[in-house]
Every structure is written in C-alpha cells, then in structure tokens.
Amino acid sequence: MRPILFYDTTLRDGEQTPFVVFSVEQKLALARQLAELGPDILEVGFPAASESEFTAVSRAAEELRGPVIAGLARCRTADIDTTTKALEKAQKPRISIVLPISDRHLTASLRLSRKQAEDQIGEAVRHARKFVEDVEYIATDATRTTESDLFSALDIAAQAGAATLVVADTVGCGLPEEIKSLFARLRARSAPSVRLGIHCHNDLGLATANSVAALAGGADQVEGTINGLGERAGNTALEEVAAILKYHESLGLTSNINFDKILETSHQVREVSGVVVQPNKALVGQNAFLHAAGMHQQAMLADPLTFEPFGPEWVGGTASLEDRIIFGKFLGKNGLKRLLALDGLELEEAALEGLVTRIRQAIERREFVSRRTVLEWAKAGK
C-alpha cells in the first residue's frame, strides 16, 4: 500500500468561505481537533495577512507536535520571512509558497511576464530554503495552463529546492481522466524524492473525483478541507478521499486518517464555521445513513449492507439500525405491518390505522420519526 499524505487546509483555505471568520482561539481549538483526525500536514493560516493569522500559526506551531505545521506565503521575501518567524517553534515546519501560473492570472491579476513569474518562483523557494527544509510550491490555476508552461514552473521550483510540487485545479474545471494522465507524466519526469500534490476546488462537483484520480496517477499528497469548506463551491472534502482510499483497497493507497474522528471533527468544523452541511452530504450529512423507503428498510433489517457500503461506525458514528430507519410521507399500512412483524408485533386493524395516522401527522410537522419511535408507539398502543 502506498501511503498518501493528507494536507488539511480547513483553517486557511476553508476560512475563505464567504462569511466565515475564525478567531485565534477558534483556530487553535479546531487545530487540536484536526490533529486528532490525523492529517500529515496542517495548514493553519497565512501569517503575512494579519496579526491574528500570525498569532494563530505561531501558537499552533508551538503547541502541536503531531502533524507538520504549514503557513502560506506568496512569492515575496517579506511573506516568507513573516511565515518563517511564525513557524520558528514548530517541530516540523513547512512553508507553502503560492503563485498563479496561467496566462490569464499572469496578465490580468499579477501583471507579470512568464519569465518574471518563473524568476519569482525560483527566488522565493531558494529564500525559504534558507530557513526550512520543507518547502512546497503550489502552482495556482495549473489546469488552465499549458503543460509545457506548468512543467517549466514546477521544474524551477524543484531545482530551487521545493520538496513538494502541487498542481491546483483552482476553478474546478479539470476532468478526472485528464488529471490522472497529467500526474502519470509528472511522476515519470520527476525525481523520486520530489513529492507531488493535488489541490482541487469543487466548482463542477468533481473535486473528490479529481483528487482521487491524481493519487491514482502518482500524486503523493492531497490537499483539502473537512466538509469541503472553501470559497465558491468549496474544496476537496478530505473525509471523502480518505473513505474512498480505505474502501477501494484495489487502489493500493492508504492514509493516516483516524476514521473514528471523522464525524466528531465534521461537527466541530460545522459548529465553529457556522456553515451548514447539506443533509445528503457523503459520510457526514445528517441523511447519509438514514433510510426512508419501505423496500430499503426491509432489506436493511435483513442485512444493513444491502443499502449501505458500510455502517456509520466506520466514520465514528453511533446511530443504531433502529435509529437509521425513518418514516416518510409515503408510509403505507401494509409496509408498516410487515416492519412491525419483524419485531414480533401485530396490531389490530384499528390500532394499525391509528399508528399510521399518528406517524403521518408527525411527518407533516416535519418531526423525526425513527423505527425506534414507531416501535415505542406501537407497544404503547397495544
């Protein structure tokens, strides 16, 4: 099994979610929780952006001893110096340097020629290497950059001493087969000592698929956030990538993610960020392990794996099967009768009709009606 490094940027890229602001104490609380989850690298913030960002990175660097602690810097000497200072007490520091590399960004945003951009990349990486061994270069908007220009920028960063080279699908427009092929070519032309990373956004709903494709193509590191937090449509949801690698052993890839902490961490990120997770979100949404269809329920009671790839305990959940079978508006008397029979309960016709009415009324009030609740009502009504 080939180990994959997980780079968590919930505290930095995730904070770019509209209306999300973490205080220093909130960042530290989340950093402690994230460290328990087990990512290999924890990007705490952008030290040059503000005093509070500097403080959060500095305090996390001093306190946390598990993951690598990363700080983001632009291709500027001043940024790198500030990030270095913020990371000075880190046991395992990393400076992550970012610069867009597409023609669109160079022309419209940075107003740089390609030669100037490449010179900045080399100078920035060399400067960072004076202070830390672990330097990462992130090529922003890489999937809208010609391959020759992308390879040139990555080569310059590697020659300057970058240990990790990251391809960023900044606006989420990549396709899985294209990204897998790109990483296969990158891996073939890169020194074995150079790590390759993927950083995807979810504008077209492909962030997880593109990330897994990159790993299958030869990437060593995946970047993302918990719950897919991030600006616009968000980033790759790291919990999804971890689950895919674990479930599909045929990929031959493994991670250090502590699955028992996935739901707990998701809930804390949700609470602190204030960003609601969509109910049908994979793994961590409130509906991810709920079953409302009658035929599904009967099959689930016989064998839960009929309609689940794995149970909620796989990601740290504790909901029993009785609490995962719920009732919806299409509940029928005959279906309810069969479900009750599985528990040895048989109601008179009038009692059965009364129970159906009670359930439907609760559903219309949008109350949560589980199988456990119905069994209690049925026993009380006998």
The string of pLDDT tens digits covering residues 65-92 is 999 999 999 999 999 999 999 999 999 9
Domain-located, residue 268: yes
Domain-located, residue 289: no
What is the sign, positive or negative, of the torsion defined by CA atoms of 315, 321, 323, 327? positive
Question: Rounded distance, CA 151 to CA 135, Å?
Answer: 18
Predicted pLDDT of residue 15: 96
Domain containing residue 310: 294-381
Indicate the SS3 state at residue 359. helix
Domain-located, residue 286: no
Q: What is the CATH number of the domain that holds 248?
A: 3.20.20.70
What does the pLDDT profile of the chain (382 residues) look like in tens digits? 999 999 999 999 999 999 999 999 999 999 999 999 999 999 999 999 999 999 999 999 999 999 999 999 999 999 999 999 999 999 999 999 999 999 999 999 999 999 999 999 999 999 999 999 999 999 999 999 999 999 999 999 999 999 999 999 999 999 999 999 999 999 999 999 999 999 999 999 999 999 999 999 999 999 999 999 999 999 999 999 999 999 999 999 999 999 999 999 999 999 999 999 999 999 999 999 988 776 787 788 788 999 999 999 999 998 888 788 877 777 767 778 877 887 788 888 888 889 888 988 998 898 888 888 888 998 887 5
Please identify, among 210, 241, 273, the residue that sits at the C-terminal boundary of a domain: 273
Extended strands (E) in 248-334: 253-254
Distance, first Cα to last Cα, the chain: 56
Rg (Cα) of the chain, in Å, rounded? 25
Indicate the SS3 state at residue 207. helix
Domain-located, residue 279: no
* Same-domain pairing of 103 and 151: yes
Domain-located, residue 282: no
* Same-domain pairing of 125 and 20: yes
* Same-domain pairing of 60 and 177: yes
Total domains in the chain come to 2
Predicted pLDDT of residue 382: 57
Question: Rounded distance, CA 4 to CA 207, Å?
Answer: 17
Predicted TM-score (pTM) of this structure:
0.92
* Same-domain pairing of 13 and 112: yes
Closest Cα partner for 87 from 121, 115, 124, 60? 60
* Same-domain pairing of 69 and 210: yes
Predicted pLDDT of residue 337: 83
Domain-located, residue 203: yes
Domain-located, residue 247: yes
* Same-domain pairing of 25 and 160: yes
* Same-domain pairing of 176 and 230: yes
Question: Rounded distance, CA 338 to CA 347, Å?
Answer: 11
* Same-domain pairing of 259 and 312: no
For 118-123, which contacts have Cβ atoms below 8 Å and span 24 or more sequence positions? 118/152, 118/153, 118/156, 120/75, 121/75, 121/97, 121/153, 121/156, 121/157, 121/160, 122/156, 122/157, 122/159, 122/160, 123/75, 123/77, 123/160
Closest Cα partner for 12 from 230, 173, 275? 230
Domain-located, residue 94: yes
* Same-domain pairing of 147 and 92: yes
* Same-domain pairing of 106 and 64: yes
* Same-domain pairing of 192 and 312: no
* Same-domain pairing of 265 and 343: no
